[in-house]
């Protein structure tokens, strides 16, 4: 398979899981008082980690050659989108990223 198609498929898998994490966060975790810790909020961090794993795994699985560079490229594409798209930036590892 074309390496860029592998990267795109991996990044899309990661974005799909990040979108599910955002829905989970908005519906089951928020609003939370300052003193309250809900297990749904903790599960969100696991979903973010799973999204990055899925991006790398799907890209590697679809690649015929050069699996490691393709997995890294899918990871970087997902990271850049996660950092710069406001809807995806709602979810991060342990804290929120706010963009002005």
**What are the structure tokens assigned to 37, written together?**
């810790």
* pLDDT value at 37 more than 70: no
Location of structure tokens 């970087």 = 76
pLDDT digits (tens, 9 = 90+) for 41-95: 777 778 888 989 999 999 999 988 888 899 999 999 998 888 887 667 666 654 5
Give the separation between CA 82 and CA 61, rounded to whole angstroms: 22
pLDDT at 27: 77
Alpha-helix residue ranges (DSSP H) falling in 1-100: 3-24, 39-62, 67-84
Instruction: Write out pLDDT tens, residues 46-60.
Output: 888 898 999 999 999
- The reported pLDDT for the residue numbered 93 is 53
């Amino acid at each position: 398979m074309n390496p860029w198609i592998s990267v795109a498929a991996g990044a899309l898998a990661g974005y799909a899981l990040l979108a599910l994490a955002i829905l989970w966060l908005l519906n089951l975790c928020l609003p939370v008082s300052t003193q309250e810790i809900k297990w749904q909020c903790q599960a969100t961090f696991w979903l973010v980690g799973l999204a990055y794993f899925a991006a790398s795994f799907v890209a590697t699985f679809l690649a015929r050659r050069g699996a490691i560079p393709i997995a890294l490229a899918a990871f970087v594409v997902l990271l850049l989108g996660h950092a710069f798209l406001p809807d995806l930036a709602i979810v991060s590892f342990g804290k929120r990223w706010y963009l002005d």
